[in-house]
Chains A and B, each alone.
Chain A
Amino acid sequence: MSLVNLKIDNIDVQAKAGTTILQAARQVGIVIPTLCAWTEINHTPGACRVCMVEVDGQRSLIAACVFPVGEGMVVRTNSARVRTARKMVVELLLSNHPLECNYCNRNGNCELQKVAEIVGLRDVRFEQPVFDKEEWIDHSSLSIVRDMRKCINCHRCITVCESIQTVSVLTPAFRGKDIRVSPAFDLPLVESNCVACGQCILACPVGALHEKEDIDEVWAVLQDRTKHVVVQEAPAIRAALGEEFGMPPGSLVTGKMIAALRRLGFDKVFDTNFTADLTIIEEGNELLKRVKEGGTLPMITSCSPGWIKFCEHFYPDLLDHLSTCKSPQQMFGALAKTYYAEFAGIEPKDIVVVSIMPCTAKKFEAARPEMTSSGYRDVDYVLTTRELARMIKEAGIDFNTLPDEGYDAPMGEYTGAGTIFGATGGVMEAAIRTVYAVVTGEDLPDLNIAPVRGLDGVKEATLAVGALGDVKVAVAHGLGNARRLLDKIRKGTADYAFIEVMCCPGGCISGGGGPIPTDNAIRQLRAAALYQDDALVQTYRQSHESPSIKKIYETFLKEPLGQKSHELLHTHYLRRGDELPQSTYEEVWENPERHA
């Protein structure tokens, strides 16, 4: 790659040919504010016009995020002309943005706020529009709220939905001042193919997209003395929650998290990792059964509800490939209201199950009508990592100085295999450890299975598993990557036995409910924390070694894939792609009010 020499603000810079002025400026520590560019997903529409810079010889200002560096180029990023333009552009953005910063979901963590600070804006000289909230806010989804009043049209959500997740639910609608991002025909989100992954929320620089909050409801049950409230936390929470309190990414805060949850008033603090281990036993046995009995292969994991909904919408023909195992969250809910109810002698109707998830799709999953095998709604409330952090702050808990505390029995114990569920490849790694042990009767020589770790989009591995011979597996994270494997299955060229799919890029550690920002560097740090938990913290590293798992089979479930398991831990799926109304243009035009 050849290098070009240029001057930015009188500093000599050498940059690779083809890099943008923005990147070159960053190299030498010059901050050019920007709102729409997100180079990690190749999103540089050049739309917000905040990153304008002056380049000698150019008639007008140019957008640094898209303009390539050139030999001998002279760039000014802080001339009066540049500062005036930037300030005006941000002022214009704010002139059409509800100034609800004090009570916005993104208060303090908003890129527009930050950019307004950088450009030194002190006044918005235009009259604020009055927005009709009914018209502009879409509450229809169980997971995601679209507050289009706040949208600044950076279109990052569109790109992440379209090119990373290949769901393509969001698109710009209308023109000019009326432009807004919305599902096709401006339908409510719930009527679209949205899989509720929430990656759009992570992409959103402002508060236009956020999770549907269940905080008030959870506060209410915590206050209710007739309710016994138990809580479970997904593996990824402990590796990310610290960031909400100013800790560096990758801080493992399991003990403080448990302590915080107790102080919030949860009666029992359990762990989703317990049911993650259980999932390995059930799913591992399901895989073995399919292999031995000639069931549908490759089998694909089913822990990730966004992924499940994606498959239901776009690949209804491949639903048989999905493991019938419920996700660990749902297994937990079903057992909390059966196994734990018996154990503690509490009426299941009085038990409230709250989940802390890095995921917005989990809110949708918990509300699926199938998820009532305990006789009640198995999981009552799902909070995202961010929501939990807000509750901790609201309760006045100084998270950083909390003592480490431990889990309650009997659903708190977990192994290293359970914890790595939070990172892409983790389920696969955990499953291989156990399947290998079950088939061969001995442990893997090295429990760290490197080929399935890391952020490559599709990872493959082939392992010799005793009598089964070579087993080929694949791991995909992010739905665009999943699509590549699914298309292979459709074509009949997928010779895998087992596939792990996680909806979100990087797995649950960068779910749509996690801390913002999330990028690849942060993903790696969070994943490292989980591998650290697995390798260094936990006593056991294989699910089948967990005493609590052994105990639940002895006392309650009896055997993997048994009758009880079938009732409580397994599920079935919907062919949404077949059932969704296939509206024609004519139908849409005939019912304009429905689509208006």
Chain B
Amino acid sequence: MFRAHLLLCGGTDCTASGSPEVKKALVAELLKRGLSEEIKLVETGCNGFCAMGPIMVVYPEGVVYMSVTPEDIPELVEEHLVKGRVLDRLLYREPAVDAVIPTMQDIPFFALQELRVLRNRGLIDPEVLEEYIARDGYAGMAKALTSMTPEQIVEEILDSGLRGRGGAGFPTGLKWRFAASASGDVKYVLCNADEGDPGAFMDRSVLEADPHAVLEGMVIAAKAIGAHNGYIYCRAEYPLAIHRLNVAISQAKEAGLLGDDILGTGFNFDLQIYQGAGAFVCGEETALMTSIEGKRGMPRPRPPFPAVSGLWQKPSVLNNVETLANIGQIIARGAAWYSSIGTEKSKGTKVFALTGDVNNVGLVEVPMGTKLGTIVFDIGGGIPKGKKFKAAQLGGPSGGCIPVEHLNAPVDYEKVAELGAIMGSGGLIVMNEDNCAVDMARFFMDFCQDESCGKCTPCREGTKRMLEILTNITQGKGKEGDIEMLEQMAAVIEDSALCGLGQTAPNPVLSTLRYFRQEYEEHIREHKCRAAVCTALFKSPCQHTCPIEMDIPSYIALVRAERLEDAYKILLKTNPFPSVCGRVCDHKCQTKCRRGQMDEPIAIKFLKRFITDNASRPKITAVPVTRKETIAVVGAGPAGLTAARDLAQRGYKVTVFEELPQPGGMLRWAIPSYRLPRHILDGEIDDVRALGVEILCNTRVGRDIPFEKIEKDFDYIYLAPGAHKSQPMGIQGEDLQGVYGGVEFLRDFNNNETAWTSGEKTLGAKVAVIGGGNSAIDAARCAARMGAEVTILYRRLRQDMPAAVEEIEAAEHEGIHIEYLVAPTKIEGKNGKVKAICLEKMRLGDFDRSGRKRPEPIEGSEYILGVDSVIAAIGQMPDLSFVPQDSGISVNKWDCFDLAEDSKSQTSRAQFYAGGDAVTGPDTVIAAIAAGHQAADDIDAAIRLKNGEEPWEEPAEEHIDVPFVVDEESMEAPQVSMPELDAVTRIQSFAEVELGFSRADAIKEATRCLRCDAEI
């Protein structure tokens, strides 16, 4: 008896990550400490948690150590095996909550799996037959050989509902029945271990961890169909699997479990391994058989089907590794046991090789019908680095992708096919938002083109031509008609290729077209790759990702060269509000920054602010009105002012109508001054005025000036009124005094700052803020600055909050308490004033279309929080009541303007354009600026087209020479952090929290830029 067992994973992945060295160190350490007699070290097959290798499990406790190195061994032995203390630093950390979980049974990755095929993984030494037998190994075979007729075996497998795990899902029992009834005294049982999909490794792991299970399945199959010979076709790239198989075969022969007169039953079955050279097509059954015959592995037409005429024209059954690994247990435990889990038409479990952009890369086995989201998020631990899930590619190059809106899909043969993918052999590649759909399709098509055997025309020439079109699209050479051509070719190739490889090769294209057609169109029409993957389309990912394509690499280079005046000019080329954006932009650019793949992205936003803080503002001179057309802009927010500026620069007379007393829109009325000081905003608005734009404040269209008047007085009108109305919560008590909408509160606060700060107006001592967006945080932080005790109530989890992470952190630092998984049900009042808020706890259920889990109330979890005010910041919508219903301007069900088809800014009435939040619903500053640019371009283009003029050409600007200096080697270095007021000081006032980079900081940060824009 040993007091402890150390189960060290010896699968291929852990071997690659160093388990042999760990084993050596362990043996030496145990010997050194004289523990060899007490503690047994077992090298197992693949444990499944491949990304965390080398993995070691210590029994009896079941403590799992991850990423163990030989250097860890002395400490590990000392702590765990001598002192009996778990060594924390090598334990698993759950990414979502960042907590350690010591034991296997508690780690969701393991706990949520249902192990049948993989039941012995990590538990037995695959090279010891007795360990397999001790786990009921060969019991099924013994039963089949001694007490069952071939017909009974086939019947049992049929009843179990087992379907071929190689991909097509053909009922295994049926396949056997065909082969059993085929005439001929020579038949073959073949095992397909030619696993070749990119990202698939389940067959290899089964062979490495439990080779006898496959042999057992083959003997049973042989008995069922009357075969006496078999082959395992395994690719030569799997040396460890082949080694273990060879060991297993010789052990089984030795033990009378294989060969002549198995178990004394008189039944003979012998098998050998045939090593394939690694052609993907050799996984196709007829090609595989041709290859075993010693010929070039090319498929042949069917019929005749292999069950009638297969290997060497003899009846043959070919089953995949995973299928065969199920057989022994089905026979031993019965069909009913097997079919007790799974879905109606897909029984049992399925093993998936979970790879790609997922925290827990590894091998997982789950019941058929498990939700895709469960596999990716609960078992897989979600997407690393807080990125968004985009799609999962199922079935490798023959499969398709399943996008975020189908995370609730139960993964079984039927559902997966319905969604346009295939189960395949179980490769499940998770892709985050940084993957381009077109590039993904191109990658798989490239694979198919390479792996096509070349025999039939559609596959040989068709994959080549489809790849050509896809490559063109990813290189910006796509043209109208390409998508239709791809669809046409896909249909013909599917319909006419000789074998499964060709027939399924178009699947990734069809499936990405189904779910991401818009991305194809963006590539073709706008040369835009939203994932910033297709490098031929852009200079740098940051610039490409910026909605207004700011020339980021140039201004960063100019910061490094300390030429800030030039840098400022570059900012102003595309952005009228650089000092605003330097503070409050959501910096999409940084999410695609290549530096982020190395350590952290460049602090682009902060560098932008540094420029505007430290360079003198370029002087603006009025542009004379040279054009006869007059333009009205409704709303002086970022969208309206940007459009006004662009149009004024082109010589138009522009008048802006603003309802509120000062221009700026959300920049002034929603964003608090501690984030965006008013003088900064005023400076940039003044620049717009300086061009000649007239801004009429306190002028609400429809109230202070009739709608009909602007309609008559102006040639074109740009409607950009924003979304200044809070969405109601729809609960009782919402009309009580002390209940505010988020934006309404902020607007009132910013309009009457003195009244609020002096205590003339007050929220009271305890404030609840409902919501998880930036408005909620802004309201909460304002309330905190007025001395209130603030609680944010959010119905999901922190990672689901739409607010910027920096803002959430800042709020936490300022002492704001955030409660998650909670939602209001009612507001209670007294004397018409808020007294308390009734809440209900939530749990997360299914996934919604955004890929987040939908909160569901937990019954009986209600509780009450006493508060003096409630701020409901759960969403905003535009107030378009100023637009007469009979104006012909179409407004949709979200109270937003509808745009004309084929236009990005024109409304349903040609004279009117619209943009910003009033079209999109609440969005970012930079999106509003982009919308303003778009509208100005479109209005100007429409005018010129009408006048028969040439399109506008940007006047030649001063050329700014951008230095190209880049370091030979970049050392890892994190982002320079932004100096800020400490939390205690800052909640005393509305002074700006972030203090701005010093010159040294800025240059250091600019030096981190990798200069992706370089043309080499």
Please tell me if the beta carbons of A175 and B498 are within 8 angstroms of each other in the complex: no
Please tell me if the beta carbons of A92 and B463 are within 8 angstroms of each other in the complex: no
Chain B residues numbered 287-321 whose CB sits less than 8 Å from any CB in chain A: 296, 298, 300-301, 303
A45 to B452, CA, bound (A): 16
Decide: A88 near B488, CB < 8 A? Known: A45-B300, A153-B460: yes
Please tell me if the beta carbons of A61 and B457 are within 8 angstroms of each other in the complex: no
Please tell me if the beta carbons of B451 and A47 are within 8 angstroms of each other in the complex: no
Name the residue of chain A whose CB is nearest to the CB of B304: A68
Which of A176-184, A213-221, A293-301, A433-441 lies on the face that meets chain B? A176-184
> Quick one: CB contact mask for B456-487 with A, threshold 8 Å, 1 for yes?
11111111110010000000000000000100
CB distance from B655 to the nearest CB of A (A): 52
In this assembly, does A171 line the interface, its C-beta being within 8 Å of a C-beta of chain B?
yes
**Most chain A CB inside 10 Å of its own CB: which residue of B303, B457, B489, B492:** B457
Please tell me if the beta carbons of A85 and B453 are within 8 angstroms of each other in the complex: no
A461 to B301, CA, bound (A): 42
Please tell me if the beta carbons of A49 and B449 are within 8 angstroms of each other in the complex: no
In this assembly, does A60 line the interface, its C-beta being within 8 Å of a C-beta of chain B?
yes
Please tell me if the beta carbons of B498 and A47 are within 8 angstroms of each other in the complex: yes
In this assembly, does A245 line the interface, its C-beta being within 8 Å of a C-beta of chain B?
no
Please tell me if the beta carbons of B452 and A176 are within 8 angstroms of each other in the complex: yes
B496 in complex: contacting residue of A44, A66, A85, A126, CB < 8 Å: A85
Please tell me if the beta carbons of B450 and A176 are within 8 angstroms of each other in the complex: yes
CB distance from B446 to the nearest CB of A (A): 11
In this assembly, does A26 line the interface, its C-beta being within 8 Å of a C-beta of chain B?
no
A65 to B494, CA, bound (A): 19
A68 to B453, CA, bound (A): 25
Q: Give every chain B residue within 8 A of A153 (Cβ-Cβ).
A: 454-455, 457, 460
A60 in complex: contacting residue of B453, B459, B464, B496, CB < 8 Å: B496
Chain B contributes a number of interface residues (CB within 8 A of A) equal to 35
Q: Give every chain A residue within 8 A of B462 (Cβ-Cβ).
A: 88, 92
Q: Give every chain B residue within 8 A of A89 (Cβ-Cβ).
A: 457-458, 492, 496
Please tell me if the beta carbons of B498 and A92 are within 8 angstroms of each other in the complex: no
Please tell me if the beta carbons of B300 and A46 are within 8 angstroms of each other in the complex: yes
Please tell me if the beta carbons of A92 and B461 are within 8 angstroms of each other in the complex: yes
> Quick one: CB contact mask for A39-75 with B, threshold 8 Å, 1 for yes?
0000011111110100000001101001110000000
Q: Give every chain B residue within 8 A of A93 (Cβ-Cβ).
A: 457, 461
In this assembly, does B495 line the interface, its C-beta being within 8 Å of a C-beta of chain A?
yes
Please tell me if the beta carbons of A177 and B458 are within 8 angstroms of each other in the complex: no
B456 in complex: contacting residue of A48, A81, A125, CB < 8 Å: A48
Q: Give every chain B residue within 8 A of A67 (Cβ-Cβ).
A: 301, 303
A385 to B463, CA, bound (A): 41
B454 in complex: contacting residue of A52, A88, A171, A172, CB < 8 Å: A172
CB distance from B951 to the nearest CB of A (A): 31
Q: Give every chain A residue within 8 A of B460 (Cβ-Cβ).
A: 153, 176-177, 179
CB distance from A92 to the nearest CB of B (A): 4
> Quick one: CB contact mask for B274-294 with A, threshold 8 Å, 1 for yes?
000001000000000000000
Please tell me if the beta carbons of B453 and A179 are within 8 angstroms of each other in the complex: yes
In this assembly, does A563 line the interface, its C-beta being within 8 Å of a C-beta of chain B?
no
Decide: A177 near B495, CB < 8 A? Known: A92-B458, A172-B296: no
A407 to B465, CA, bound (A): 58
Please tell me if the beta carbons of A175 and B301 are within 8 angstroms of each other in the complex: no
Please tell me if the beta carbons of B457 and A46 are within 8 angstroms of each other in the complex: no
In this assembly, does A573 line the interface, its C-beta being within 8 Å of a C-beta of chain B?
no
Decide: A96 near B496, CB < 8 A? Known: A46-B456, A67-B303, A177-B452: no
A-B contact number at CB 8 A: 107
Q: Give every chain A residue within 8 A of B491 (Cβ-Cβ).
A: 84
Q: Give every chain B residue within 8 A of A131 (Cβ-Cβ).
A: none
Chain A residues numbered 200-218 whose CB sits less than 8 Å from any CB in chain B: none
In this assembly, does B770 line the interface, its C-beta being within 8 Å of a C-beta of chain A?
no
In this assembly, does A556 line the interface, its C-beta being within 8 Å of a C-beta of chain B?
no
Chain B residues numbered 836-862 whose CB sits less than 8 Å from any CB in chain A: none
Decide: A85 near B495, CB < 8 A? Known: A47-B457, A176-B451, A176-B460: yes
CB distance from A88 to the nearest CB of B (A): 4
In this assembly, does B867 line the interface, its C-beta being within 8 Å of a C-beta of chain A?
no
Q: Give every chain B residue within 8 A of A48 (Cβ-Cβ).
A: 456-457
Q: Give every chain A residue within 8 A of B468 (Cβ-Cβ).
A: 126-127
Decide: A96 near B461, CB < 8 A? Known: A85-B495, A88-B489, A177-B449: yes
In this assembly, does A251 line the interface, its C-beta being within 8 Å of a C-beta of chain B?
no
Chain A contributes a number of interface residues (CB within 8 A of B) equal to 37
Please tell me if the beta carbons of A174 and B454 are within 8 angstroms of each other in the complex: yes
Decide: A52 near B495, CB < 8 A? Known: A93-B457, A93-B461: yes
A47 to B461, CA, bound (A): 12
Q: Give every chain A residue within 8 A of B495 (Cβ-Cβ).
A: 52, 60-61, 81, 85
A152 to B451, CA, bound (A): 19
Please tell me if the beta carbons of A125 and B485 are within 8 angstroms of each other in the complex: yes
**Most chain A CB inside 10 Å of its own CB: which residue of B464, B485, B496:** B496
Please tell me if the beta carbons of A85 and B454 are within 8 angstroms of each other in the complex: no
In this assembly, does B355 line the interface, its C-beta being within 8 Å of a C-beta of chain A?
no
CB distance from A73 to the nearest CB of B (A): 13
A298 to B610, CA, bound (A): 102
Please tell me if the beta carbons of B461 and A95 are within 8 angstroms of each other in the complex: yes
Name the residue of chain A whose CB is nearest to the CB of B458: A49
A534 to B645, CA, bound (A): 102
Please tell me if the beta carbons of B503 and A60 are within 8 angstroms of each other in the complex: yes
CB distance from B359 to the nearest CB of A (A): 36
A269 to B449, CA, bound (A): 56
Q: Give every chain B residue within 8 A of A175 (Cβ-Cβ).
A: 279, 450-454
CB distance from B880 to the nearest CB of A (A): 48
Please tell me if the beta carbons of A176 and B464 are within 8 angstroms of each other in the complex: yes
Q: Give every chain A residue within 8 A of B242 (Cβ-Cβ).
A: none
Q: Give every chain A residue within 8 A of B503 (Cβ-Cβ).
A: 60
Q: Give every chain A residue within 8 A of B248 (Cβ-Cβ).
A: none
CB distance from A170 to the nearest CB of B (A): 12
Q: Give every chain B residue within 8 A of A178 (Cβ-Cβ).
A: 454
Please tell me if the beta carbons of B303 and A68 are within 8 angstroms of each other in the complex: yes
**Most chain B CB inside 10 Å of its own CB: which residue of A47, A63, A68:** A47
A92 in complex: contacting residue of B296, B465, B494, CB < 8 Å: B465
A49 in complex: contacting residue of B303, B450, B451, B498, CB < 8 Å: B498
CB distance from B704 to the nearest CB of A (A): 60
A46 to B498, CA, bound (A): 7
In this assembly, does B604 line the interface, its C-beta being within 8 Å of a C-beta of chain A?
no
A37 to B297, CA, bound (A): 20
Q: Give every chain B residue within 8 A of A126 (Cβ-Cβ).
A: 465, 468
In this assembly, does B723 line the interface, its C-beta being within 8 Å of a C-beta of chain A?
no
In this assembly, does B497 line the interface, its C-beta being within 8 Å of a C-beta of chain A?
yes
Decide: A176 near B300, CB < 8 A? Known: A49-B497, A60-B496, A92-B462: no
Chain A residues numbered 123-149 whose CB sits less than 8 Å from any CB in chain B: 125-127
Name the residue of chain B whose CB is nearest to the CB of A154: B457
Please tell me if the beta carbons of A47 and B455 are within 8 angstroms of each other in the complex: yes
CB distance from B305 to the nearest CB of A (A): 12
Q: Give every chain B residue within 8 A of A49 (Cβ-Cβ).
A: 456-458, 496-498
Q: Give every chain A residue within 8 A of B458 (Cβ-Cβ).
A: 49, 88-89, 92
**Most chain B CB inside 10 Å of its own CB: which residue of A46, A52, A155:** A46
Q: Give every chain B residue within 8 A of A84 (Cβ-Cβ).
A: 488, 491-492
Name the residue of chain A whose CB is nearest to the CB of B303: A68
A152 to B455, CA, bound (A): 10
CB distance from A281 to the nearest CB of B (A): 48
A60 to B496, CA, bound (A): 7
Q: Give every chain B residue within 8 A of A174 (Cβ-Cβ).
A: 454
Beyond the given pairs A49-B497, A153-B457, 7 more chain A to chain B contacts, judged by CB atoms under 8 angstroms and listed by A's residue number, are A48-B457, A49-B498, A52-B496, A60-B503, A67-B303, A96-B461, A172-B296
What are 29 of the A-B contact pairs (CB < 8 Å)? A45-B301, A45-B455, A46-B456, A46-B498, A47-B457, A52-B496, A67-B301, A84-B492, A88-B462, A88-B492, A89-B496, A92-B457, A92-B458, A93-B457, A93-B461, A95-B461, A125-B485, A153-B460, A171-B296, A172-B454, A175-B451, A175-B454, A176-B449, A176-B451, A176-B453, A176-B463, A177-B461, A177-B464, A179-B455
List 7 tightest A-B contacts by C-beta distance, closest first.
Answer: A179-B454, A46-B301, A176-B452, A92-B461, A88-B492, A66-B301, A177-B464
